[in-house]
Amino acid sequence: MPIDIQLEDERGNVQRCLGDRKNRIPKLANAAGVPVLSDVDTYGDTVFNRLQCTRIILELSLLRSKTTDEVEHGLLSALTDMAYQCEQGVHLYLRFVGD
Domain borders along the chain are 3-97
Judged by DSSP in three states, 4 sits in strand
For the chain, percent of residues with pLDDT exceeding 90 = 97
Scored b (16 or more CB within 10 A) or e, 40-68 reads bebeeebebebebbebbbebbebbbeeee
Q: Tens digits of per-residue pLDDT, 6-63? A: 999 999 999 999 999 999 999 999 999 999 999 999 999 999 999 999 999 999 999 9
Output the CATH code of domain 3-97.
3.40.1760
Q: Is the model more confident about 86 or about 1?
A: 86
Q: How far is residue 60 from each of residues 10, 11, 13, 79, measured CA to CA in Å?
A: 24, 26, 24, 8
Residue 99 pLDDT: 80
For residues 2 and 23, the answer to whether their CB atoms sit within 8 Å is yes
Residue 75 pLDDT: 97
Q: Tens digits of per-residue pLDDT, 54-85? A: 999 999 999 999 999 999 999 999 999 999 99
